A and B are shown apart, each in its own frame.
Chain A
């Protein structure tokens, strides 16, 4: 199975400051159709996960533009340009390129 490794495990941030989460895969996530099926999810405390980003850099409709995803091959990044209070929670990356789909261990974002 493809191993997804996120860092850091915990990310204390100051409101209004940027934040960055790394996700690395144990093998390339480029699918035979040329796409990279790398998603990011956000889970607030006590809530279900919500997809934030799909195919590396495509924001879902509800996601503010302060969130951005980037990367290629095996290295991916989720960035928040200016953290707001509602951004707290756990962020997960997930690959859907190789069967079975696998998730990263999660990064907990909290306000300092």
Chain B
């Protein structure tokens, strides 16, 4: 069974940094392209970024609102995806989900609250 579990969220002040993790199991993580998607409280879903598998170049792409502030990375030996978030803004407050390239399944997400 494919499982994804996000962690690392919390309360952080504007301008601060946070690193989210997503541990996956049940499939070959090495070959997977992975995404982060976020959902602000009471709002819809927003794609944040994507990282390709290393064999496909390992390159990253980001949504415009987070480009230059967020960085995706992966540790294939640990089947873990990371999202380094810097210069956080109040509008980054959301539940952050990691998902595969097929957007199925979804983990429980981790809540990031940016507030002074």
List the count of A-B residue pairs having beta carbons below 8 Å apart.
Answer: 45
Within the complex, what minimum Cβ distance (angstroms) separates B35 from chain A?
7
The bracket for how many chain B residues form the interface is 10 to 19
Q: CB-defined interface of A73-112 with B at 8 Å, one 1/0 digit per residue? A: 0000000000000000010101010011111111000000
Complex formed: what's the CA distance from A85 to B107 in Å?
24
Complex formed: what's the CA distance from A90 to B65 in Å?
24
B107 touches A48 (CB 8 A): yes
Complex formed: what's the CA distance from A51 to B35 in Å?
15
Complex formed: what's the CA distance from A39 to B45 in Å?
13
Complex formed: what's the CA distance from A39 to B108 in Å?
20
Per the 8 Å Cβ criterion, residues 31-52 of A in contact with B are: 39, 41, 48-51
Complex formed: what's the CA distance from A15 to B35 in Å?
36
- Chain A contacts for B27, CB-based, 8 A: none
Residue in B35, B47, B63, B103 whose beta carbon sits within 8 Å of that of A39 in the complex: B103
A101 touches B47 (CB 8 A): yes
Complex formed: what's the CA distance from A48 to B109 in Å?
7
B106 touches A103 (CB 8 A): no
Within the complex, what minimum Cβ distance (angstroms) separates A1 from chain B?
8
A67 at the interface (CB under 8 A from B): no
Chain B residues proximal to chain A, CB less than 8 Å: 35, 44-47, 50, 61, 63, 97, 102-109
